[in-house]
Amino acid sequence: MGVSHECDFPLEARRKPVLIRSRITHTKSPAAIDRQVREFLERGESLYSVDLDALCALQPDLIVTQDLCHVCAATPDDLGSALARLAIQPRVLTLNPHSLADVSADIRSVGAATGRAPQADSVVAEFESRIAAVERAVASLPRKRVVCLEWLDPPYAAGHWVPEMVERAGGVNVLGEAGKPASRTDWDAILAARPEVIVVMPCGYSLEQAAAEFRPLALPQGWGDTPAVENGCVFLVEASGYFSRPGPRLAAGVEILAEAIHSASKLQSAPQDSKGLFTRVAAGGG
């Protein structure tokens, strides 16, 4: 019945009333966005506002929210005052995934809450089957050192399920910790990790947005000497749908990673949905 400002998949989601909006100015630079987010959190203020009138008009039976990241989407705390105004209290289903197994469990939770358990089981079966197929395809290939960057200014190493995605795609994740939030790092640490593959995935960004942020970036001295840059293995990816959001499309994200990591190798079976969802970039970011 209603969605957040970022709900854009499937296409029908864009036609629903928007009930949650961000208070962050997303047109600013990555450094300015990072600073604005930290200022909001230091003041104890929410990054999101709820359209109370629209929510009351809809009278929902179920609200699905998340408690994983207060930066990425509205949390139960953001709904407090809105719920108090509803005549009939809806069920609130709060998701908090940290791994691919948690994503599967959450899909089943949403299926149970909406009376669609068989459909949820089917989605999970396909999700897990696609990831298993990638693991089989890369099992005999060399495992390369991979750095995934979830933000560029300042740089953050991707966390939560992304390190696991790297491992299951046949790589070795060398920055960021599986099951933990993205961690702030610096360019010295990135260069010292000697990555053979670098994947640029700014949180919530499309491929075009990632390219717009990366190409003018002032890269550090020594960037061109990393194995990833020397071998042309720096990639920009469609983070919004395939890495940032804990849903079924993470399976396509694992396929994209496998193709990027093993771009010089011959995969036993090609990833299904990688076309147009990542791009290789030149050493200087151009």
Residue pLDDT, tens place only, 199-240:
999 998 899 989 998 988 889 999 999 999 999 999 999 999
Count of all residues that appear for the chain in the document? 286
Alpha carbon distance 208, 110 (integer Å)? 31
How many C-beta atoms lie closer than 10 Å to residue 41's C-beta?
A: 13
Structure tokens that stand for 94 in this block: 């709060």
* pLDDT over 50 at 107, yes or no: yes
Tokens 């709904």 identify what position? 79
Reported as a single tens digit per residue, the pLDDT across 186-207 is 999 999 999 999 999 999 889 9
Reported as a single tens digit per residue, the pLDDT across 51-74 is 888 888 898 999 998 888 666 666
Alpha carbon distance 34, 257 (integer Å)? 26
- Say what the pLDDT of residue 273 is: 40
- Say what the pLDDT of residue 52 is: 86
- Say what the pLDDT of residue 74 is: 67
- Say what the pLDDT of residue 265 is: 54
Strand partners, 50: 20
**CATH dotted code for 120-280:** 3.40.50.1980
* pLDDT over 50 at 85, yes or no: yes
Where in the chain are the domains? Answer: 3-96, 120-280
Of 142, 145, 182, the closest CA to residue 161 belongs to 182
Of 97, 106, 96, 219, the closest CA to residue 155 belongs to 219
